[in-house]
Chain A
Amino acid sequence: MSGIPPVAELTGVSAGYRGSEGRRPVLDRVDLRVARGELLAVLGSNGSGKTTLLRVLAGTLRATSGAVELFGRPIGEWSRTEIARRVAVLPQSLELPAGFIVADVVAMGRIPHARDAFGSGPDDERAVEVALRDAGASELAHRPVSELSGGERQRVIIAMALAQEPALLLLDEPTLHLDLARQLDLVRALRRLRDARRVAVVAVLHDLNLAADYADRCVLLDGGRLLPAGSERHAIDPELARRAFGVPIEEATTAAGRRVLTTTASVPRRTGGEQT
């Protein structure tokens, strides 16, 4: 391997929140390595610690034990601005302040790169344009944020994160509110970013197939431990997934030859009444 340090490295990291001492920590001795340009999908049931993992990677939550390194340096040595120039976070939910237009909200992603006191330079404008295009929100640029639908808002927030021109992108359920077409657009855009600029992406996803198809690697959070979700052959192992999610997972092959995972737990069509 070359001497380029990984974008992020967690070694034996445990983390939790105040008031939870005594209980098992949310993250329990987690090891993770994110390489440059790697698309990593994080899977896990609700409450399994996915958001906590992203917070530790972003530096907003301090690990209670273990080592966290960004680009080869311990995270404690980074200032908030330094982190923000390299790492962008898409939170699970974010309310956009009323009264702004989309372009100005996306432009807030340029804050860590701000140089002069009052102006926005041509660099900023270009970055905002590119970010909007990559997020599939170019036509929204001049719309007031209070008029946006859920999906539109999601794309704007993604654009804001992209405007930071990060080397590491942390996305917490980015496909929320997005319809199928736009979900595909998003993951394709992430692929393009990876290809063009070696941006590393850590994305929390619920859609197993999307994760399996588009991520380079999938990991699973279960009981605070982090483990690879699959193997060389299959990105996601159905048995691991079943254990993690608690529902039976079945593998199937579509007519076009693609491998898909689905849950076989069934919800009866009719409730109550006749027994078939």
Chain B
Amino acid sequence: MRAAAAARPITLGPSIGRSTAVLGGGALLLVAVALVSVAVGTTGVGAADAGAIVLHRLLGIGSPTWPAASETIIWELRLPRVVGGMLVGAGLACAGTVFQALLRNPMADPYVIGTAAGASLGAVAALLVPGLLPIVGVGWLGLGVVQVFAFVGGVVAVTVVFAVARGQGGTPVVTLLLAGYAISSLLSAGVALLMFVSGDRLAAVVMWLLGSLGGASWPRLAFAAPLIVGSFVLILLRWRRLNALLLGEEQAGHLGVDVEREKRILTGLAALATSAGVAISGTIGFVGLVVPHLLRFAFGPDHRLLLPASMVYGAALLVLADLGARVAGGIPVGIVTALLGAPFFLWLLRRSLGPRLAP
């Protein structure tokens, strides 16, 4: 007879302690970064005043002892930026995690199946042709024309990519990736053409493409937040299926996952969150690609922990990047994420490849 079974009892999944440490740590980081972000800006508003203003507006306590301008700065300018950064950062990181698992491709990011290209084309078209659709106009659901077109463009592009890639037997992942690449290239060519004829609007177009949280305002967040948060919740509930997909589509099917249906649902949810984020902030890169890898490297590939972690740390990262962008003189946050993301990624690559490269 074989020796007795392992003495340690079996616990499945990340322990309570571990989850709390990871998510709690992330939440603390997020709160700290958010606080600093609200307290810091190009004008001096005392940290104490900033806190008091937030409490006053949120909970109605205290009476104004600060100048009205300070209140506007904190409540209308900085706080929406910080909240916007949280939403977009969390959305991008979560979508990136989903696509990396779904497409079983470590280079997948939220934009890989056309969201960025579609949103860019929509936004650039709207930037160049004011009064494009008078019906839409300014102030539809609190969004400007550019935001509406960006959102619609992203969603439509993903729909087209999915339709193109769909075959009789389902939607093979490789086909989806290739179709995404092809359609993105086509749409990007359109964007380039528009940029070429943009004349003196070119600066505005480039600014949008580089990505910025400067446009975040409460009405826009009110539009994007339900979409992003709703996507989060529905994606979180599917953590088991994402884990199963790591075994490959056939085995996931044997475990009871309706793979084709999951592809549709997960793609749809991730694309919604991404498009809503892009509508607020333009195309911010690297967050959706690097955060999932970093977290997987640090905490493992189990989506039960990885998904919520990606949301919390993605949010913290983007708020931090935006803080850096503002302190550096108002440069687009997409530049900061690229500057942060690329070296991190290289470091990660070397660490994970290291042992194998040894002679």
B13 cross-chain contacts in A, Cβ below 8 A:
104, 107, 120
- B244 with A120: CB separation less than 8 A: no
CB distance from B154 to the nearest CB of A (A): 29
Q: Does A58 belong to the interface (CB within 8 Å)?
A: yes
- A164 with B255: CB separation less than 8 A: yes
Q: Does A69 belong to the interface (CB within 8 Å)?
A: no
**A84-B247 contact given A104-B13, A133-B5, A141-B6, CB 8 Å threshold:** no
- A84 with B2: CB separation less than 8 A: no
Q: Does A259 belong to the interface (CB within 8 Å)?
A: no
Interface string of A26-50 (1 = CB under 8 A from B): 0000000000000000000000000
Task: Tell which of A2-10, A121-129, A195-203 binds the partner.
Answer: A121-129
A60 cross-chain contacts in B, Cβ below 8 A:
250, 253-254
Interface string of B1-44 (1 = CB under 8 A from A): 01101101111110000000000000000000000000000000
Q: Does B240 belong to the interface (CB within 8 Å)?
A: yes
Ranked nearest first, the 6 interchain pairs of A and B with the lowest CB-CB distance are A84-B256, A112-B256, A138-B5, A97-B246, A120-B12, A81-B256
Q: Which residues of A contact B (CB under 8 A)?
A: 18, 58, 60, 79-85, 87-89, 91, 94-100, 103-104, 107-109, 111-112, 114, 117-118, 120, 124-125, 128-129, 132-133, 136, 138-139, 141-142, 164, 185
For chain B, residues 242 to 269, give those with C-beta under 8 angstroms from any C-beta of chain A.
243-244, 246-248, 250-251, 253-258
A83→B169 CA distance, assembly (Å): 20
A98→B301 CA distance, assembly (Å): 8
- A142 with B6: CB separation less than 8 A: yes
- B5 with A80: CB separation less than 8 A: no
- A111 with B257: CB separation less than 8 A: yes
In the complex, 27 of the A-B residue pairs with CB atoms within 8 angstroms, ordered by the A residue number, are A18-B168, A60-B254, A84-B254, A84-B255, A84-B256, A89-B251, A89-B254, A95-B247, A95-B248, A98-B301, A99-B300, A99-B301, A107-B13, A108-B247, A108-B255, A111-B241, A114-B240, A118-B239, A118-B304, A125-B12, A128-B12, A129-B5, A136-B2, A138-B6, A139-B3, A141-B10, A164-B255
CB distance from B15 to the nearest CB of A (A): 11
A99→B14 CA distance, assembly (Å): 12
Q: Does B204 belong to the interface (CB within 8 Å)?
A: no
- A111 with B244: CB separation less than 8 A: yes
A160→B40 CA distance, assembly (Å): 52
Apart from A89-B254, A108-B255, A132-B5: 5 A-B pairs, beta carbons within 8 A: A60-B250, A82-B256, A95-B248, A99-B296, A100-B301
A84 cross-chain contacts in B, Cβ below 8 A:
254-256
CB distance from A90 to the nearest CB of B (A): 9
A60→B248 CA distance, assembly (Å): 14
B241 cross-chain contacts in A, Cβ below 8 A:
111
- A107 with B250: CB separation less than 8 A: no
A88 cross-chain contacts in B, Cβ below 8 A:
254
Interface string of B214-242 (1 = CB under 8 A from A): 00000000000000000000000101110
B12 cross-chain contacts in A, Cβ below 8 A:
103-104, 107, 120, 124-125, 128
B304 cross-chain contacts in A, Cβ below 8 A:
118
Q: Find the A residue at minimum CB distance from B238.
A: A117
Q: Find the A residue at minimum CB distance from B243.
A: A108
B49 cross-chain contacts in A, Cβ below 8 A:
none
Q: Find the B residue at minimum CB distance from A97.
A: B246
B3 cross-chain contacts in A, Cβ below 8 A:
139
**A139-B5 contact given A91-B250, A117-B237, CB 8 Å threshold:** yes
